Structure 1
Amino acid sequence: MDDRMQQFETLLQNMSKQLEKEHLARIEIEKKLANAVIVIAICVCFSYEGNIDYRIERLELALKHVTEKLETEQLARKQLETLLVEKGREHRQVVGRESEVAFFATIANPVHHLGQGQVLIFDNVVTSIDSTQSVGGYSAPTGVFTAPVIGFYVFSAIIMTFDGHSTHCAIHKNDVPLSTIYVSGANGHQWDSASSTVSVAMVKGDTVTLRHMDDDHSVAGAFYGGQSRFTGFLLQQHGHELSVAPIIG
């Protein structure tokens, strides 16, 4: 679809340039038409009787030729404008058919003894949509989301610690931490939770994970719904490569 969008954009640019050329040509033709009318008037006033009919006939033929050319140019311009509108409508339809990518997953059972750098696996997948039918999207066995298309994505994670535990986690794009989640389930907070949301530019193949930052911590599983959950979706697809710094919120 990226190639089709690029082709449409190039076509629209070329058609716009052609319309501008046709507009300038029409102006020149109108000038010639006006000059021809003036010449006819002058000849009628100053020609001598022997040649006046011949000259008027020649100028009238020239005027007819210029008029026909102007009408042809106006018709071609109208057809080109109509084609431009149709291609623009088709281009908007193609742009509007963006890929649908979204997921929502929870941790089904409590996870104990998390290691440093360990990827949290949200194994209970509630929602998994990837209209690209690619190998991307969220993987329940690995806990890794892989971007199937280029664009801006939004991710959100909520972590609840196991009874009496504290936990540090971070949302990573590839191997770069974007946002930290600190959950204080100790010191009198038996069951505590915290969350974080990020919006980030990604290219196809980039990954997002939630990783544990410390040693030997535990997170709670599903008690009523999903206490620890991970979700994300494609906010805006793009048709070309981006070099945009991530926006963290």
Structure 2
Amino acid sequence: MEFRALRLLTLLGLLFVEPGFGQRGDMDVGEWLREKAELLNAFGDKLKDVRALEARLNATVDQLTGQKAEVDRLREENEGSTRAPRVAFSASLADFGEIYKGPCTDKTLIYKRVFSNTGDGYDQSTGVFTAPVCGLYFFSFSTYGYNTHVTGAILMKNGARQVSTYDGLAADGSDGAGNAVALQLVAGDAVHMELWDGGRVFDNLNGHTTFSGFLVFPA
């Protein structure tokens, strides 16, 4: 309705302002009005096209805004993951020659040959890994020994037994075993390996008796 009123007013304006309109004896007034109406119709169609284009542009802007928000979210997640602490270590018992450990009073195994120690959680002077941050940690270990003694070791968390390997006296010449566990630790928790009472393990540069761990994810 408003558009028709605007068209009518425009036509009336053209009637009053058209130069020399009173002298157009050779032009049919009806034809002239039809031409002006066609121009107005064409203008209305163009206006519709502009509005449709504007709607599409607004939709595109909304889509790009949503995509930018998603990119920002992913960037924040990635920055958060890169800021997460990196903790991992791996070591074997002997750093040169051959070593027999046990039987002994101090049953703590001190792994001297350190392959990696990202985050400096493992202390090669004591054999103890201390958790630098709270989180879920994964530990694995292997033991090797001969049939003259019990062979195996126990993974200890804050002085409490968790998991172990064990092989008693047997007719075979040697025995090897391994085990693993995932532990929830808080910062400062201590994890180390101990021999069984009366036990013994063997290692050389082939790395038979090992101890490894890493942070799966922080708490």
Q: Same fold (TM over 0.5)?
A: yes
Q: What is the correspondence of 1:72-91 to structure 2 with a 5 Å cutoff?
A: 85=70, 88-91=73-76
CA distance in 1, matches of 2:170, 2:196: 20
* Superimposed CA distance per residue, residues 137-180 of structure 1 (whole angstroms, 9 cap, x where no aligned partner): 11111110111122111101101114522134211111221102
2:185 matches 1:220: no
Per-residue CA distance 1:185-231 (angstroms, 9 max, x = gap): x321221111110011111111111112313x321011x52011111
Indicate conservation of the 8 Å contact 2:152/2:201, yes or no: no
Separation in 2, partners of 1:120, 1:193 = 16
The structural deviation recorded for 1:83 is 8.0
- Aligned AA for 2:208? Q
Counterpart for residue 42 of structure 1: none
Q: Which residue of 1 aligns with 2:189?
A: 206
Residue 124 of structure 1, aligned match among 96, 107, 113:
113
8 Å CA contact retained: 1:117, 1:214: no
Q: CA deviation at 1:113?
A: 3.1
**Secondary structure, counterpart of 2:80 in structure 1:** helix
Contact 1:164 1:188 in 2 (8 A): no
Q: Secondary structure at the match of 2:111?
A: coil
SS in 2 for 1:94: helix
Counterpart residue type for residue 155 of structure 2: I
- Contact kept in structure 1, 2:92 and 2:208, CA below 8 Å: yes
Q: How does 1:1-249 map to 2 (within 5 A)?
A: 85=70, 88-97=73-82, 98-108=84-94, 109-115=98-104, 118-130=107-119, 136-162=120-146, 164-184=148-168, 186-215=169-198, 217-222=199-204, 225-238=206-219
CA distance in 1, matches of 2:99, 2:200: 7
> Could you say if the C-alpha distance between residues 122 and 208 of structure 1 is closer, same or farther in structure 2, counting changes exceeding 3 Å?
same
Larger radius of gyration: 2
- TM-score between the two structures when normalised by the length of structure 1: 0.55
Instruction: Give the AA of the match of 1:150.
Output: C
- The alignment covers a number of residue pairs equal to 158
Secondary structure of the residue that 1:154 maps to in structure 2? strand
CA distance in 1 between partners of 2:153 and 2:81 (Å):
36
RMSD: 2.8
Change (3 A) 1:117 1:167: farther
Unaligned residue ranges in structure 2 (runs of 5+):
1-57
Shift of 1:80: 9.1
Residues 61-83 of structure 1: per-residue CA shift (max 9 Å, x gap): xxxxxxxxxxxxx9xxx799788
What SS is found at the alignment partner of 1:99?
A: coil
Partner of 1:46: none
Unpaired runs of 5+ in structure 1? 1-73, 131-135, 239-249
1 CA distance for matches of 2:163 and 2:122? Answer: 19
Quote the residue 1:38 is aligned against. Answer: none
